[in-house]
């Protein structure tokens, strides 16, 4: 596979999120209390195998670094590590808030680099006709203005992660309660497993849906900037919206 083929090969976002986030979290939840006192360690190792394997595949086969795999590994290490240490309650709430907060800080500082995070998540070839946009920006001499627009878009992206941190902390504080010390290790692991499972499905309603709306706003904000500085229409920016040529 040559370099051009690698660059043109589109990432499957569902597979990316599934192997790096969803499957590992489900395994961590389901396996923790199924192997006795060694359950947390076994669950951690099995869950880590998915983002590690997916990230290695992307690096070796597709010659690209997978940022989502890194996030998945960090998330599983945090969650599994807390389970191994038998930490509960408040510290799980801190963990749930710290993860998106750290990402938000990282995203914010990318605004001051040549590759702001919004380029990876929104303004990329999997979503838009970046080559055409770049060409028109050069023709019109509006590159500087558009780069400033992407910088502001990156600030918005960082805000979305800070919002997620606040929502995560509030929800996790409500869900994760101290576990009765009189319970056996297996029973305590089962209770913790239920709390993690509750966090998983409730976070979709309380956190994922509002953030999805926020991400859609950022997408349209970037699109409006492209239109303003290039004059391109929606179908020119998003190739997937173009109608296929009619067959005579």
Phi, psi of 87 (to 5 degrees): -85, 145
SS3 111: coil
Cα distances (angstroms) measured from residue 241 to each of 222, 233, 236: 17, 11, 8
Query: Rg of the chain over CA atoms, in angstroms?
Result: 21
- Residue-wise pLDDT for 118-155, tens only, equals 887 788 787 788 889 999 999 999 999 999 999 999 99
pLDDT one-digit tens code per residue, 151-186: 999 999 999 989 988 988 888 888 888 777 787 766
d(CA 146, CA 225): 7
Cα diameter, the chain: 77
Q: Hunting for tokens 């989502």 — which residue is that?
A: 68
Per-residue pLDDT of 14-72, as tens digits, reads: 677 777 777 777 776 677 666 666 766 777 788 788 888 887 877 787 776 666 667 67
């Amino acid at each position: 596979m040559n370099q051009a083929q690698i660059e043109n090969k589109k990432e499957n976002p569902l597979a990316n999120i599934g192997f790096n986030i969803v499957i590992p979290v489900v395994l961590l939840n389901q396996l923790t209390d199924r192997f006795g006192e060694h359950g947390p360690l076994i669950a951690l190792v099995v869950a880590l195998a998915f983002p590690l394997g997916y990230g290695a595949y992307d690096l070796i086969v597709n010659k690209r670094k997978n940022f989502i795999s890194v996030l998945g590994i960090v998330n599983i290490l945090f969650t599994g590590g807390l389970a191994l240490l038998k930490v509960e309650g408040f510290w799980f709430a801190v963990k749930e808030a710290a993860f998106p907060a750290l990402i938000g800080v990282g995203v914010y500082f990318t605004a001051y680099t040549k590759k702001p995070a919004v380029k990876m998540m929104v303004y990329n070839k999997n979503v838009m006709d970046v080559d055409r946009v770049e060409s028109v920006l050069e023709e019109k001499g509006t590159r500087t203005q558009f780069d400033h627009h992407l910088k502001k878009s990156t600030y918005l992206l960082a805000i979305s992660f800070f919002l997620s941190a606040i929502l995560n902390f509030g929800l996790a504080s409500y869900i994760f309660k101290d576990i009765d010390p009189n319970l056996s290790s297996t029973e305590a692991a089962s209770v913790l497993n239920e709390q993690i499972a509750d966090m998983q499905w409730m976070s979709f309603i309380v956190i994922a849906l509002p953030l999805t709306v926020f991400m859609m706003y950022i997408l349209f904000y970037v699109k409006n900037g492209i239109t303003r500085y290039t004059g391109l229409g929606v179908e020119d920016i998003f190739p997937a919206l173009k109608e296929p040529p009619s067959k005579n």
